Amino acid sequence: MIQFRKWNPHTVVMCIAALLFLALSALRASYARNDFVLPYDGARCLLHGCNPYGGGELLYPPSTLLVLSPLALFQYPAAWLIWFLLNGALLIFATFLILSLCPNAHRWLATALAAILLAGSSRLLILAQPSAFAISLVVIGVYCFLRGRRVLGGAVLLMLSLAVKPFIGGLIVFYLFFKGVHRRYAALAMAGALSILLCAGLILKMHPESTNWVSDVRANISRAVAPGGTDDPRPASEQAVAALNLQTVTSVFFREERQFNVAAYVVFAVLFLAWALVTLRMDSSIENHLLAIGALTVITLLPIYHRTYDSRFLALCIPSAMIIFAKRRLIGAFMCALIALATVSTQHLAQELLLRDGLLQTVRQSKALLILLLRGSDVQLLVLFGLFMVAFLRIYNPMKAAATSSPAEDYSKLAYS
């Protein structure tokens, strides 16, 4: 693994990336208008007995509000500053831990990839997005589980991540549980997150103004995904370029909401089944866990609504990309390029240029052009997952693993010893 105990060129590069990440975030941050406002107000409502979902905009589960309730004890400027600094420190720490999981071979490539991903994550801090908190805690928790260090602390971090944004790390925790990677602690993380949700829901039920919070949440979600809503994935929606899920692609072929949702879930089910058939047969080693988690990270972003900044979750793909690059250069190089491109959403720029030139409607009439120009992030995820499957079948065929052993396998055992 890559070590950062001493000041070396890799450490210097990562520190520069961290400083750039913090500087860009601080220069462009606005504490008055960001994604922290709604959950902060919701957490204060939870504490003071009003209905956090009455405004029609809040989509976060009650568990998010309960986790953030300590910050709601502060006035908003102080709470925002604490949130900004906390998430910045967590993202930097998580990136360093990701690098420590990478094999020693091709260290500069791993360092460059991590530095690009970190420096390009400033939008998470600019928006004060809870995704920064959830992603960082999942990464740190996975490190604790795979290394077998401070596993109880890792379980607590995974619990908090699931409570804040369950669709970020949910599948990862399920994988740790079913593969027996500190199963009791993985179960503790899931049970703890569920307990936080139930406690928050009970608190809302106890207050007369928020008794019907479940129906309010459903109404808020329905408004958000309705035509013209902030989360509308349909081709006619200009907001769809900021979304990251299969619905933005399937809605190009199906007009009805039920149809494009079902199509997206079917595609996800097929991809998940392919992943399960290949990875669940693998031996329980750190290398195989990293490979399985890397592929699972990609499809985690596909079935449920995410924003393009959630693609920073692909940091968990860096160790697996390095492992594959050491054995299949071409496949690994393409994977590294796609992970790096996660920090650049060209579809926003493409839409602005098409609007300026009056060509947006023309592009929307062509399904191929629409997907290519305005749904590029989703296509990149599908291609990245396909490369994972090709690598698994060509390098890590479970049916041959027991009968064959290659020098690359011996190398990986040494790298992770």
Report helix, strand and coil shares of the chain as percent, to nearest 5: 75, 0, 25
Contacts of 259 (CB under 8 A, 6+ apart): 250
Do 61 and 137 lie in one domain? The reply is yes
- Angle formed at CA 269 by CA 265 and CA 275, multiple of 5 degrees: 145
pLDDT for 412 beyond 50: no
pLDDT for 261 beyond 60: yes
Do 221 and 238 lie in one domain? The reply is no
Q: What integer is the mean pLDDT of 382-400?
A: 82
Do 192 and 245 lie in one domain? The reply is no
Binning pLDDT at 50, 70 and 90, where does residue 283 land? Answer: confident
Q: Is 303 helix (H, G, I), strand (E, B) or coil?
A: coil
pLDDT for 417 beyond 50: no
Lowest mean pLDDT among 59-68, 114-123, 270-279, 400-409: 400-409
**Boundary of a domain, candidates 170, 202, 225:** 225
Binning pLDDT at 50, 70 and 90, where does residue 416 land? Answer: very low
| Average pLDDT taken over every residue of the chain | 89
Q: What integer is the mean pLDDT of 83-96?
A: 96
Name the residue range of residue 52's domain. 1-225
Do 167 and 269 lie in one domain? The reply is no
What are the DSSP calls for 83-117, one per residue?
HHHHHHHHHHHHHHHHHHTS-STTHHHHHHHHHHH
pLDDT number for residue 141: 97
Binning pLDDT at 50, 70 and 90, where does residue 403 land? Answer: very low
Binning pLDDT at 50, 70 and 90, where does residue 305 land? Answer: confident
Comparing CA positions, the residue from 156, 96, 139, 125 lying closest to residue 29 is: 125
Spatial distance between the Cα atoms of 149 and 33, rounded to a whole number of angstroms: 39
pLDDT for 414 beyond 80: no
Q: Which residue has the higher pLDDT, 352 or 397?
A: 352
Binning pLDDT at 50, 70 and 90, where does residue 1 land? Answer: low
Binning pLDDT at 50, 70 and 90, where does residue 322 land? Answer: very high
Do 260 and 316 lie in one domain? The reply is yes
Lowest mean pLDDT among 14-23, 25-34, 133-142: 25-34
User: Which tens digit of pLDDT belongs to each residue from 91-116?
Assistant: 999 999 999 999 888 889 999 999 99
Do 209 and 239 lie in one domain? The reply is no
User: Which tens digit of pLDDT belongs to each residue from 179-226?
Assistant: 999 999 999 999 999 999 999 999 999 988 988 999 999 999 999 999
User: Which tens digit of pLDDT belongs to each residue from 323-378?
Assistant: 999 999 999 999 999 999 887 778 888 888 898 888 888 888 899 999 989 998 99
Binning pLDDT at 50, 70 and 90, where does residue 55 land? Answer: confident
pLDDT for 397 beyond 80: no
Do 149 and 27 lie in one domain? The reply is yes
pLDDT number for residue 402: 43
pLDDT number for residue 32: 66
Q: Is 307 helix (H, G, I), strand (E, B) or coil?
A: strand
Do 219 and 357 lie in one domain? The reply is no
Binning pLDDT at 50, 70 and 90, where does residue 408 land? Answer: very low
Do 194 and 238 lie in one domain? The reply is no
Spatial distance between the Cα atoms of 408 and 257, rounded to a whole number of angstroms: 47
Do 24 and 122 lie in one domain? The reply is yes
Spatial distance between the Cα atoms of 40 and 184, rounded to a whole number of angstroms: 32
Q: What integer is the mean pLDDT of 132-151?
A: 96
Q: What integer is the mean pLDDT of 245-254?
A: 94
Count up the domains in the chain and report the number. Answer: 2
**Residue 156, Cα to own-chain centre: how many angstroms?**
18
Binning pLDDT at 50, 70 and 90, where does residue 409 land? Answer: very low
**Boundary of a domain, candidates 194, 225, 256:** 225
* Contact in structure between 157 and 151 (CB atoms under 8 Å): no
Do 209 and 273 lie in one domain? The reply is no
Do 330 and 409 lie in one domain? The reply is yes
**Boundary of a domain, candidates 203, 225, 247:** 225
